[in-house]
């Protein structure tokens, strides 16, 4: 496709977009009496208009039934999480037995590490990416310390090469080979939060298994962003949040994947809770924990119904749109953002703004990270003041996420015009 940085071209693309109608299913913030250009779905997704109805339905059920709503509500609360499983499994390419929505992201990862990071004196090392999300780094640090190992020795972080922004796949594979005799786990973000780099999870999993280690992933920036096939890739475990691309409200419930190879093994060590106990005997209040098979066996507590209802409102939209269709639009929309950005920036040779996200669509999702070379946060603040909602990460990176469910080609064009105005003023200061 030949792109054009014109309003006519952008509107034409929107008119031909079979997913354009989904934009109207979401609320856009109005700030200073102006509808914003929202490009931060990778941090917090927009509110589905249907979410209030879904929550109000459960509020009505609560008012009607009280505690009996666990069994008498139209969607009985005791099994509410089960109605989220089919859509969640489809998003990550899993069997329904391998997925459950529960808890929050880092809580879930710690629970999964109980089962899948079981270091020995011989095998204790974890290979991960450098510049991972801080919560993941804290997870690794405290896990290895909990087992009596030094983070400096146990955590192998693979950085970009000098002068580069992205991690080379061959460097990850080389590190796995180098440490294979001491390796317990390969753990990466499916999509790196900072650069937007999409890692080859299938290849990393294969390499980990060949080395005698396990492979797990934080899918916070991958779920709802790129299609996955966790079961077919033989990924051992994964976890994700649902408030970014899955639009489920700030801090809402997360989800986990446990491959059937492990989920069927009820002897696998884990921390127990009554919602992970054999559901046929759950209310007998027995003293001995009997875990359910599949991912459900990692549950601890009964689910937060109101949060689950919001998540259901968004998952229903994903079911209607289809992740493959969204990915196809995402590739075009992100490429258009890249084109418009470069077209504008190249008009201002004195100003250095550099995209550090991979140029290949196969190596990124719907995110472009822009490095503000030689500037500070003031440029980002100016962008925000114009009504563009993006995301700043220290020391000098702005992350832009053209989310296919609700962003349009015209949004991208208008962002380019805003950028052009700002750069013109910036150049003359």
Element holding 171 (H helix, E strand): helix 169-178
Two structure tokens written together for 43: 């941090």
- pLDDT tens by residue, 152-203: 999 999 999 999 999 999 999 999 999 999 999 999 999 999 999 999 999 9
Helix axis angle for 7-15 and 323-345, nearest 10°, is 180
Distance (Å, whole) CA 360 – CA 364: 7
Give the sheet arrangement for strand 368-372, strand by strand: 353-355, 368-372, 397-400, 391-393
Distance (Å, whole) CA 429 – CA 424: 9
The answer to whether the Cα torsion of 116, 119, 122, 124 is positive or negative is positive
Two structure tokens written together for 139: 């997870």
Res. 123 pLDDT band, cuts 50 70 90: very high
- Cβ atoms of 390 and 398 closer than 8 Å: yes
Cis check for the bond before 395: say yes or no (omega within 30 of 0). Answer: yes
Distance (Å, whole) CA 253 – CA 240: 9
Distance (Å, whole) CA 28 – CA 239: 28
Domains in the chain, start-ordered, CATH in brackets?
Answer: 7-47+323-427 (3.90.1150.10), 53-319 (3.40.640.10)
- pLDDT tens by residue, 215-231: 999 999 999 999 999 99
- pLDDT tens by residue, 372-422: 876 678 888 889 999 999 999 988 899 999 999 999 999 999 999 999 998
Count Cβ neighbours within 10 Å for each residue of 281-306 and write b for 16 or more, e otherwise. ebeeeeeeeebbebbbbbbbebbbbe
- CB-based contacts of 283: which residues, under 8 Å, 6+ apart? none
Distance (Å, whole) CA 305 – CA 297: 19
What does the pLDDT read at residue 57? Answer: 98
- pLDDT reading at 350 higher than 80: no
Distance (Å, whole) CA 429 – CA 417: 19
Distance (Å, whole) CA 2 – CA 23: 24
User: When comparing pLDDT for 119 and 373, which is higher?
Assistant: 119
What does the pLDDT read at residue 32? Answer: 85
Parallel, antiparallel, or unpaired for β 397-400 and 391-393? antiparallel
Distance (Å, whole) CA 412 – CA 333: 8
What is the gyration radius of the CA atoms in the chain, in angstroms?
23
Nearest to 189 by CA among 71, 333, 42: 42
């Amino acid at each position: 496709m030949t792109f054009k940085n014109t309003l006519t071209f952008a509107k034409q693309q929107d008119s031909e977009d079979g997913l354009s109608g989904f934009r109207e299913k979401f609320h856009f913030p109005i700030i200073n009496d102006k509808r914003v250009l929202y490009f931060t779905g990778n941090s917090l997704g927009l509110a589905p208009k249907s979410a209030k109805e879904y929550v109000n339905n459960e509020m009505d059920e609560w008012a009607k039934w009280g505690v009996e709503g666990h069994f008498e509500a139209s969607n009985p609360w005791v099994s509410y999480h089960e109605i989220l499983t089919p859509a969640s499994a489809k998003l990550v390419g899993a069997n329904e037995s391998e997925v459950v929505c529960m808890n929050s992201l880092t809580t879930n990862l710690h629970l999964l590490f109980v089962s899948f990071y079981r270091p020995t004196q011989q095998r204790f090392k974890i290979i991960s990416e450098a510049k991972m999300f801080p919560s993941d780094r804290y997870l690794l640090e405290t896990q290895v310390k909990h087992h009596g190992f030094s983070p400096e020795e146990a955590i192998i972080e693979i950085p970009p090469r000098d002068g580069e922004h992205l991690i080379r796949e061959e460097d990850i594979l080389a590190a796995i080979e180098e440490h294979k005799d001491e390796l317990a786990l390969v753990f990466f973000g499916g999509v790196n939060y900072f650069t937007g780099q999409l890692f080859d999870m299938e290849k990393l999993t294969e390499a980990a298994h060949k080395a005698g280690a396990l492979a797990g992933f934080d899918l916070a920036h991958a779920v709802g962003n790129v299609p996955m096939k966790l079961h077919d890739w033989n990924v051992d475990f994964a976890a994700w949040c649902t408030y970014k691309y899955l639009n489920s409200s700030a801090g809402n419930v997360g989800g986990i994947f446990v491959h059937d190879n492990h989920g069927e093994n009820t002897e696998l060590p884990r921390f127990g809770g009554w919602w992970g106990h054999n559901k046929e005997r759950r209310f007998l209040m027995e003293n001995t924990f009997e875990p359910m098979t599949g991912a459900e066996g990692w549950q601890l507590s009964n689910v937060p119904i109101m949060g689950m209802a919001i998540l259901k409102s968004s998952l229903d939209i994903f079911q209607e749109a289809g992740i493959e269709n969204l990915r196809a639009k995402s590739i075009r929309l992100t490429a258009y953002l890249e084109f418009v950005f470069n077209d504008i920036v190249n008009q201002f040779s004195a100003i250095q703004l550099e995209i550090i996200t991979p140029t290949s669509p196969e190596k990124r999702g719907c995110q472009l990270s822009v490095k503000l070379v030689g500037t500070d946060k003031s440029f980002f603040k100016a962008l925000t003041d114009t009504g563009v909602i993006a995301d700043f990460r220290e020391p000098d990176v702005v992350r832009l996420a053209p989310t296919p469910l609700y962003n349009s080609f015209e949004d991208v064009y208008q962002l380019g015009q805003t950028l052009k105005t700002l750069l013109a003023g910036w150049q003359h200061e």
